[in-house]
Structure formats: structure tokens, C-alpha cells
């Protein structure tokens, strides 16, 4: 009588981890494909409205980008200052400022696809949505509020004692200024 052993197979009890897309491949493809897509956009728009009108639109989008950067950029900077003065974290306002800078750059770069992306980034709800999606990828370290205002004196261990002031300490001369 022959006895056969069946191989035992164990299946994993935990699901396999999700693989994230490799961005190292995406960036070179994007850098190569974007100019080709922009050229195709120029050809399509040029066929519909003419070459001169297409060039005028590209120049106009650059001018609009500079104007919007100036207008919205100053507004963001004043909101950052207000957040800092109130002792709150200005990271969201700083992110809005970076996105406005990126939006202006995209409008200044010739092309209709970059113009569409730039115009979308100038819309505050789009920036809010982008910040909500991106903020988990950044670590914001701040130390706003809670501290005393005024002069701060940094002491070493030998400069401090509870028994009384040390007459040889260089910090004794601060009152003489």
C-alpha cells in the first residue's frame, strides 16, 4: 500500500500591500509629452481661430498670469501675516501662495494646456481641494504663539544658580546697557 503525501499550501491571511505608482517613470514621460500636447493644441486652436489670434491668446494669457500673480499674491501674503500675528499656523496660506506662484508660472509658459491648469489653480476652492489632498505628504513644523515676547536670554548651566546672582557672570552686565 502506497501512501501519498499531499503538499500543504497556505494562503496569506493578509491582503498584499498596494503598490504605489512609480513617479520616477512618470516625470520623464510627462516632460516629453507636454510639449507635444501643447503643439497639438496650438495646431487645433490655430485651425479654428487663425494663427494671429492664437499668438494673441498666448501673449494675453502671459499678461493675465502676471496680473493675477500680483493681485492674488499680495492678498495671500497679507493673510499669512495675519495668521502669524494671531499666533495661528500659516501653512495653508503659504501653500496657497506657492500654488498661486505655480499658477502664474503656468499662465506665463506658452501653451493652452498649461493655461487651463494655471487658471484652475487661481480658483480658491481648487487650491483648497489641492491642499487637502497634498497636506498629508508634507510635515509642517511651526512654533507660533504661546511664547513670551521681548528679550530672551539663553543661559548655560554654570550661568544659572538658585543661590543668588553670580557677580562674575557676563549676563550681569545686561542691565548696564
99-125 pLDDT, tens per residue?
A: 988 998 898 888 999 999 999 998 989
d(CA 58, CA 98): 23
Would you say residue 124 lies in a domain? yes
Average the pLDDT over 17-39 and give the result.
Answer: 82
Res. 148 pLDDT band, cuts 50 70 90: low
Would you say residue 121 lies in a domain? yes
d(CA 95, CA 104): 14
Query: What pLDDT was estimated at residue 46?
Result: 93
Would you say residue 100 lies in a domain? yes
Would you say residue 46 lies in a domain? no
Would you say residue 112 lies in a domain? yes
Would you say residue 172 lies in a domain? no
DSSP 129-154: HHHHHHGGG-------SSSPPS----
d(CA 32, CA 35): 6
Query: What pLDDT was estimated at residue 53?
Result: 94
123-142 pLDDT, tens per residue?
A: 989 999 988 888 877 766 65
| Stated pTM of the model | 0.62
Domain count within the chain: 1
pLDDT at 54 over 90: yes
Query: What pLDDT was estimated at residue 30?
Result: 86
Would you say residue 48 lies in a domain? no
Would you say residue 98 lies in a domain? yes
d(CA 162, CA 73): 51
**Distance from the first to the final alpha carbon of the chain:** 105
Which of 74, 131, 77 is CA-nearest to residue 99? 131
Range of the domain at 109: 65-137
Please count the residues of the chain: 177
d(CA 21, CA 15): 18
Amino acid at each position: 500500500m502506497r501512501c501519498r503525501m499531499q503538499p500543504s499550501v497556505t494562503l496569506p491571511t493578509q491582503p498584499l500591500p498596494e503598490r504605489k505608482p512609480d513617479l520616477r517613470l512618470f516625470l520623464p514621460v510627462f516632460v516629453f509629452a507636454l510639449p507635444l500636447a501643447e503643439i497639438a493644441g496650438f495646431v487645433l486652436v490655430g485651425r479654428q481661430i487663425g494663427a494671429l489670434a492664437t499668438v494673441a491668446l498666448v501673449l494675453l494669457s502671459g499678461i493675465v498670469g502676471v496680473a493675477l500673480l500680483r493681485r492674488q499674491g499680495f492678498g495671500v501674503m497679507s493673510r499669512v501675516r495675519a495668521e502669524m500675528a494671531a499666533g495661528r499656523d500659516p501653512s495653508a496660506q503659504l501653500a496657497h501662495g506657492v500654488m498661486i506662484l505655480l499658477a502664474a508660472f503656468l499662465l506665463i509658459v506658452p501653451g493652452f494646456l498649461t493655461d487651463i491648469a494655471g487658471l484652475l489653480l487661481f480658483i480658491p476652492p481648487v487650491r483648497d481641494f489641492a491642499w487637502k489632498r497634498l497636506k498629508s505628504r508634507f510635515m509642517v513644523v511651526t512654533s507660533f504663539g504661546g511664547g513670551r515676547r521681548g528679550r530672551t536670554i539663553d543661559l548655560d548651566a554654570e550661568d544659572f544658580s538658585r543661590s543668588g546672582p553670580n557677580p562674575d557672570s557676563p549676563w550681569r552686565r545686561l542691565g548696564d546697557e
